[in-house]
Structure formats: structure tokens, C-alpha cells
């Protein structure tokens, strides 16, 4: 049976792409909007699949092995039935030359990667609808009457020799009645055309008639009741027996709904669905236009790149729904705060008054044009910092938020949009690294910092593999006996080129890049192995404490890592995991479960830097905590600042009343030690006894104590 005669329950889509993961995602989207799907991975197989199955819609990649998308498209168009199938070309190339090549090859549409899946679904459905309409239109050459009845099309005919003009009843209705005297003229076809388009439409149709060529044009018409509709008008030459031009047959169709659908697709393509702000594509287009204008006028412009501080914590604690509510409210505040200006849109006949865009997640950009002085951008940034703080009510939850802003200035910080955006992003991270809730201008020195950051991120996996990390051990002393009863293991990085890299330089980078699990696993394995080695030589190192990063603690599979180290026959009661107060605030339920499992293993839990965080004291009863470690900032200043003693005394009393051991960090003088001893702490550590030392040096301290 001819594939055109098949009756399908669902429209058939053919996906031609050499990327398996993309084909899977494309297939899921098309199935969701009602297609059945077949897939192939190169252009040649795509042509063969079309011959066999005659799909209704083809999603065709450009760059593929064997036969590229352009050639495949041309080949399909040359096959029987290939004239009408809807072909949407997809590629990572978005330059005008590539787009022109796609349409020259015969594509009906063009979409760039990365794909917007929502837009793809809409495009496929509406292209399918358009394809069906055009298929019916072409069948009207032989079955015109039935086609008009089914597709609600109108037709007209112009005798090129006599000038006689005939218009069907359906066309007359579509065009609003035409001539009042009942005599139809060619001019009546153009009478309803919108005044703004009349000149262009008239010239195009007259030029086609003069050259005796076919034409296809869509335009607006104004009906007698004042309403506006979109009309697709197509004309085609029919030749006489002597091969001379005889008549021009035309067909018109009301495509108002199709135009509305196209506008909807364009809105989806260029505006953020959650906040209604411009998205990255539209913002970059607007930025390029403003750069061109600033270049002509010799003026400056500023690009502000902002990111909400610790937004992930809101998603983790309240859920993504509340995070989305916050993003909507923040976008409203930004639009009220930023001065309005006309923003030219690449959407046809659409103007946007917004200079604010959401790039994704909690990242926003703001474009300030016609800037006289860079300080004016700082004024706007300060206003944003003030207004963005909130508080916001999110379905019963009151939330406050801060933001960090990076600023780049044209032309000093870059001559194109991509560079300005990159430099503003760099400045934003600089603002975050300097306390958040502030703004920073881009400087060339920041590039050095960014390059170093990326270099460290790149080198961390190699450091684990090449054993460049080392653990240093700072002894913990029992206050009553004066003996070493354990140690805190502190990571150090002996970089082959940078030398000794302190943990505060690379731990945060490891956390943000997702490499922290590998670092934590290395720390745990090294401690367990070292403990086993010391025990095998008759040394008792006591309780060894490790600082596992609490970043996404519940997702780090800590228990699995511990189980892998059981080969070292470690007495887990001799292992202590130190966490900070802030960790208790993140993913409370998940972290509580992890800490409970650790406790069940016999592993001790210590709350490090106690007194400097902002967690509720109720967490001390909710989590399994064995040890409180008084932050060194209280201990090191306790002699000069007596008020510190009040805080220390309160922490000791609270810890002991809850059955916890209390450790004082940062003890550097004999006077501080005596004060801690008198106040009743259980253990101390600090430079008064020993700094953190390599494993061999710590072993010598244990031997000296043993002797």
C-alpha cells in the first residue's frame, strides 16, 4: 500500500541525528505531544526511512556522518511526497549563513541547539498543522471544491490575456465582501490590505504578474468591522497548450490562528517561562544592538550580572516550588527597581520595555544603556541590593535574600556582548568571595584569579590520583592528664608547581565543582590506613578527627565510603567526624539521617567552630552530637576580652549538661591553657602544645609520651 494511503492513529515523526542522547530526548518530547517516532543516526538512513514510511514531520540535524542535513533535505524534497512533509532542521550553528543554507535546502523551519524542549513540542505540533494545510492546498489543483470545503480556503483566477478576474465565494467571504457593485477587479483583492503593508504587497504581486511568475505572500487585512486577520495569498501560472501563459490561479487562506501560534512560539523562544523576563537569547540580541548604538554615539553602557546568595539553601530547605515563587517575586522587584526603557525585540512587531533578563536558575542580568559615568551603574547596584533583600512571604514562610552583583562596562571591559557577559560574571564571583551582598566592578586582575581558580579545579583530580594531598595531625590534649588523647587530621596539598596550597584555597572550589566527594573519600581512606599502621606498630593515636566537608552531606554516600575502609580493621569509636553548625541548617532531614547512621557505626560526631554559626540551639538535641569544639576566636582573645569567658563558660555548661565533651581550639599560651583548665573544658588543642604536623612527627610525639 502507498504510504500516502495509510491511516495513522498518530502523526509520524522521523528524527535524524547522530547524537543518541539528543535522539532520546527529542523522541520523548515528540511522543509527549502526540507523535509516534522513528529514529536514524545519519542522513542517508534518513532518506531511506522517508521512502519507506513517509513521515508527517522530520526533525533533521545538520552536521552528520555519511550524508549531512542539507543534502538529506534536498534528497527528500526530490522524492515523491517530499514536497509537503514538514522539515525542521536542528543545529548548534546559529549564523545567518547556516540558516539561509537550511531554507535553500528546503527546510520549513530552523531551530538551534541547545534545544528548548517546550518550544520544540509547540513547533512540531504547529508545523504539522501547517503541513497538513499546505498538503490540502496543493491537492486543490485537482479537487478544488472539496479542498475549499475541508480547509476553508478561497481561490481566485486572473486571465493574463483578457484581464478578467474571478474570485470564489469563499475568498470573497475571507476578504470581507470585496466590491460593492458586484464587479470584481484585481484591485479588489488588494483593497482590504492593511495600510502599513499595502505598498509592499501591491509591488510584490504586480511584479509577479509582470514577470508571469508564481508568488506566495502573507499579510494583514482589515475587515469592514475593523478586525484584523492574516491572509496567505499564493498565485501560480497555468500555461496554455501552446506553452504560453494563460491564467494565474490563486488561493487565499486565513492563517490568523497559525500566526498567533507562531507568536506564541516566539514568546516561548525568547522569554523566560517562569518570570516573563527576557531570556538569554533575547538579552544577548538586545545587548548586541545596544553595543552597536553605543559605538555609534560614543557612549558607555553597563552590564550587571547578579546571582542570589545561597539560593540553593532555600530550594533544599523549602523545596523548588518555594524557590520558584521567590524567583518570581525577585523578578518583580527588579523590574520595579530598574528604570524602564524601550527594548527593541527581534520578535516581529513586538516591543519589550524590559532590560532585565533571567539567564537561568537564580542568575539575572541587567543592561543599562546611555551610561554617562560608571558610578551610575554602582548607584543602580546599590539600589538593587537594598530593594532585593525582602522579606518575602512564600505561602506562609518568610524569607529574606541577598544578592551579589558583578559589573562590566562597555567599551573598557570588552567590545562584544560575550566578553562583557563573561567579565560581569567574573566580577560577580569576586563579589561572592568577598562576603556576598555587595557588588564589584570587573578589573583585569580578576582574570588572573579566575584562571587560577580553573587551574586548581583542573588539578584536584590529578592531586588525588598522584597522592599530592597529605594529612597533618594536630594533637588534642586531655586537660587533667596532660596526655595526647587524639588528633585532628587536617588536609594539605603539596602542589608540584604551587607549593603548599592551604585548604581554604581549594576546598570551596572542590565543593562548587562537585569534586569534594573524591577529596572526602581520600581523607577517610588515609585516616583509616594511618590509624591501622600506627596500631600495628604498638602506638595508640587515640581518637582521630576528620573534617569531612558538609557540602551536600546527604548525597556524598559517606556510609559507602566508610564500609570500603573496614579492611583496615578500624575501631570506629576511635574515629570522629567534625561538622560545622551551618551544616545542620542544610537538608536537615537528610543530614540527620546520615549523622544517625554514623553514630550507629560507633563514629563520634563533633560540632566544630561552635558559637560562630547561626543554627538554632534546638539542633543540638535533634542531631547526634558527642563533642562541642569552642571556636578559636573565643579562646585566643579570652585573656584580653573577658566577655569571651562568659561565652566560653556558657558553652561548657551547655555541652556538659547535654552529656557532650567540650574541646577548646586555638590555645596558644600557658595563660589561656590555665583559664580553659579552670573553666572545665575536657580537651584542648593549639600551638601551645603543637601545630598540625606530618604523620611521622605525630608518631614521634606518641613515642615520647609512651616513654
pLDDT recorded at residue 554? 56
Q: In this prediction, what percent of the chain has a pLDDT beyond 90? A: 14
Closest CA to 424 of 400, 440, 437: 440
**Alpha carbons within 13 A on the beta-carbon side of 470:** 15
Is the pLDDT at 348 greater than 50? The verdict is: no
Mean pLDDT of 101-112: 85
d(CA 491, CA 523): 7
Residue 528 has a CB neighbour count (10 Å cut-off) of: 24
DSSP string, 71-100: HHHHHHHTSTTTTTSEEEEEES--SHHHHH
- Listed in sequence order, the residues at least 6 apart from 517 whose beta carbon sits closer than 8 Å to its beta carbon are 556, 557
pLDDT recorded at residue 342? 31
For domain 3-134, give the CATH number: 3.40.50.2300
d(CA 299, CA 292): 10
- The CATH H-level (homologous superfamily) assignment of domain 453-706 is EAL domain (3.20.20.450)
User: What is the per-residue pLDDT across 408-434, written as a single tens digit (0 to 9) for each?
Assistant: 888 888 888 888 988 898 888 888 887
Is the pLDDT at 64 greater than 50? The verdict is: yes
Question: Is the pLDDT higher at 447 or at 439?
Answer: 439
Mean pLDDT of 86-113: 82
d(CA 437, CA 382): 10
pLDDT recorded at residue 524? 86
User: What is the per-residue pLDDT across 28-58, written as a single tens digit (0 to 9) for each?
Assistant: 989 998 999 999 999 999 999 999 999 989 9
In which band, very low, low, confident or very high, does the pLDDT at 622 lie, cut at 50, 70 and 90? Answer: low
d(CA 443, CA 436): 18
For domain 271-442, give the CATH number: 3.30.70.270
Q: Pull the grid cell for residue 503.
A: 585548604
Mean pLDDT of 324-352: 60
CATH number of the domain at 144-261, out of 3.40.50.300, 3.30.450.20, 3.20.20.140, 1.10.10.10?
Answer: 3.30.450.20
Q: In this prediction, what percent of the chain has a pLDDT beyond 70? A: 84
pLDDT recorded at residue 352? 36
pLDDT recorded at residue 137? 62
pLDDT recorded at residue 91? 78
pTM, 2 dp: 0.47
Question: Residue for cell digits 573534617?
Answer: 547
Judging by beta carbons within 10 Å of its beta carbon (0-12, 13-18, 19+), is residue 484 exposed, middle or buried?
Answer: buried
Q: Domain limits of the chain?
A: 3-134, 144-261, 271-442, 453-706
Closest CA to 366 of 325, 427, 407: 407
Mean pLDDT of 333-343: 63
DSSP state of 623: S
Is the pLDDT at 584 greater than 70? The verdict is: no
d(CA 146, CA 407): 63
In which band, very low, low, confident or very high, does the pLDDT at 350 lie, cut at 50, 70 and 90? Answer: very low
Q: Pull the grid cell for residue 6.
A: 495509510
SS3 461: helix
DSSP state of 339: P
User: What is the per-residue pLDDT across 134-192, written as a single tens digit (0 to 9) for each?
Assistant: 776 666 555 655 555 555 677 788 887 777 888 777 777 777 766 555 556 677 778 88
DSSP state of 471: E
Mean pLDDT of 519-548: 88
User: What is the per-residue pLDDT across 246-299, written as a single tens digit (0 to 9) for each?
Assistant: 788 888 888 877 777 776 666 666 787 788 788 888 888 888 888 888 888 888
Tell me if 115 sits within 8 A of 123, measured CB to CB. no
Is the pLDDT at 569 greater than 90? The verdict is: no
Amino acid at each position: 500500500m502507498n504510504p500516502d494511503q495509510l491511516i495513522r492513529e498518530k502523526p509520524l515523526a522521523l528524527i535524524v541525528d547522530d547524537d543518541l542522547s539528543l535522539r532520546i530526548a527529542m523522541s520523548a518530547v515528540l511522543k509527549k505531544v502526540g507523535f509516534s517516532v522513528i529514529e536514524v543516526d545519519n542522513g542517508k538512513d534518513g532518506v531511506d526511512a522517508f521512502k519507506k514510511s513517509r513521515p508527517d514531520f522530520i526533525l533533521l540535524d545538520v552536521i552528520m556522518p555519511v550524508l549531512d542535513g542539507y543534502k538529506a533535505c534536498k534528497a527528500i524534497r526530490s522524492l515523491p511526497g517530499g514536497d509537503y512533509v514538514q522539515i525542521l532542521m536542528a543545529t548548534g550553528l546559529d549564523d545567518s549563513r547556516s540558516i539561509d543554507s537550511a531554507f535553500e535546502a528546503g527546510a520549513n523551519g530552523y531551530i538551534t541547539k541547545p534545544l528548548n524542549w517546550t518550544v520544540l513540542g509547540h513547533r512540531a505540533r504547529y508545523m504539522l498543522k501547517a503541513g497538513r494545510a499546505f498538503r490540502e492546498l496543493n491537492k486543490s489543483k485537482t479537487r478544488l471544491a472539496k479542498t475549499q470545503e475541508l480547509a476553508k480556503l478561497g481561490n481566485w483566477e486572473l486571465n493574463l490575456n483578457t484581464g478578467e478576474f474571478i474570485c470564489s465565494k469563499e475568498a470573497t467571504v475571507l476578504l470581507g465582501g470585496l466590491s460593492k457593485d458586484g464587479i470584481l477587479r484585481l484591485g479588489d483583492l488588494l483593497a482590504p490590505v492593511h495600510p502599513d503593508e499595502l505598498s509592499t504587497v501591491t509591488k510584490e504581486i504586480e511584479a509577479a504578474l509582470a514577470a508571469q511568475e508564481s508568488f506566495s505572500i502573507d499579510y494583514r487585512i482589515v475587515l469592514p468591522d475593523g478586525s484584523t486577520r492574516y491572509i496567505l495569498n499564493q498565485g501560480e501560472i497555468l500555461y496554455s497548450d501552446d506553452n504560453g501563459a494563460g491564467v494565474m490561479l490563486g488561493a487565499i487562506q486565513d492563517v490568523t490562528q497559525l500566526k498567533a501560534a507562531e507568536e506564541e512560539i516566539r514568546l516561548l523562544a525568547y522569554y523566560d517561562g517562569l518570570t516573563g523576563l527576557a531570556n538569554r537569547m533575547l538579552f544577548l540580541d538586545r545587548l548586541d544592538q545596544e553595543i552597536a548604538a553605543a559605538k555609534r554615539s560614543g557612549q558607555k553602557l553597563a552590564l550587571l550580572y547578579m546571582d542570589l546568595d545561597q539560593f540553593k539553601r532555600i530550594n533544599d530547605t523549602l523545596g523548588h516550588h518555594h524557590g520558584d515563587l521567590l524567583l518570581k517575586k525577585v523578578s518583580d522587584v527588579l523590574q520595579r527597581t530598574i528604570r524602564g526603557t524601550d527594548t527593541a525585540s527581534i520578535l516581529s512587531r513586538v516591543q519589550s520595555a524590559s532590560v532585565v533578563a533571567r539567564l537561568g536558575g537564580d542568575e539575572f542580568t541587567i543592561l543599562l544603556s546611555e551610561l554617562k559615568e560608571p558610578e551610575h551603574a554602582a548607584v543602580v547596584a546599590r539600589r538593587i541590593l537594598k530593594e532585593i533583600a525582602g522579606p518575602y512571604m512564600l505561602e506562609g514562610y518568610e524569607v529574606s535574600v541577598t544578592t551579589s552583583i558583578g559589573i562590566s562596562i562597555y567599551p573598557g571591559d570588552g567590545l562584544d556582548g560575550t566578553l562583557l557577559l563573561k567579565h560581569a560574571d567574573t566580577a560577580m564571583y569576586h563579589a561572592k568571595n568577598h562576603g556576598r551582598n555587595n557588588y564589584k566592578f570587573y578589573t583585569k586582575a580578576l582574570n588572573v584569579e579566575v584562571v587560577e581558580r580553573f587551574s586548581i579545579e583542573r588539578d584536584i583530580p590529578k592531586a588525588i590520583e598522584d597522592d599530592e594531598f597529605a594529612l597533618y595531625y594536630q594533637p588534642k590534649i586531655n586537660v587533667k592528664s596532660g596526655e595526647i588523647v587524639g588528633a585532628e587530621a587536617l588536609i594539605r596539598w603539596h602542589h608540584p608547581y604551587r607549593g603548599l596550597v592551604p585548604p581554604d584555597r581549594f576546598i570551596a572550589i572542590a565543593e562548587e565543582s562537585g569534586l569534594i566527594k573524591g577529596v572526602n573519600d581520600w581523607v577517610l581512606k588515609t585516616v583509616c590506613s594511618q590509624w591501622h599502621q600506627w596500631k600495628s606498630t604498638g602506638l595508640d593515636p587515640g581518637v582521630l578527627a576528620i573534617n569531612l566537608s558538609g557540602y551536600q552531606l546527604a548525597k556524598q554516600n559517606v556510609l559507602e565510603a566508610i564500609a570500603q575502609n573496614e579492611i583496615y580493621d578500624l575501631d570506629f569509636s576511635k574515629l570522629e567526624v567534625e561538622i560545622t553548625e551551618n551544616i545542620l541548617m542544610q537538608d536537615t532531614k537528610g543530614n540527620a539521617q546520615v549523622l544517625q547512621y554514623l553514630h550507629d557505626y560507633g563514629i563520634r560526631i563533633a560540632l566544630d567552630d561552635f558559637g560562630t554559626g547561626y543554627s538554632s540551639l534546638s539542633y543540638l538535641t535533634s542531631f547526634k552530637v558527642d563533642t562541642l569544639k569552642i571556636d578559636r576566636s573565643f579562646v585566643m582573645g579570652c585573656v584580653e576580652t573577658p566577655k569571651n569567658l562568659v561565652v566560653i563558660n556558657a558553652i561548657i555548661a551547655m555541652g556538659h549538661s547535654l552529656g557532650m565533651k567540650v574541646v577548646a581550639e586555638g590555645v596558644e599560651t600557658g595563660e589561656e591553657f590555665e583559664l580553659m583548665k579552670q573553666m572545665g573544658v575536657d580537651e584542648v588543642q593549639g600551638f601551645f602544645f603543637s601545630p598540625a604536623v606530618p604523620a611521622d612527627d605525630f608518631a614521634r610525639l606518641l613515642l615520647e609520651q609512651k616513654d
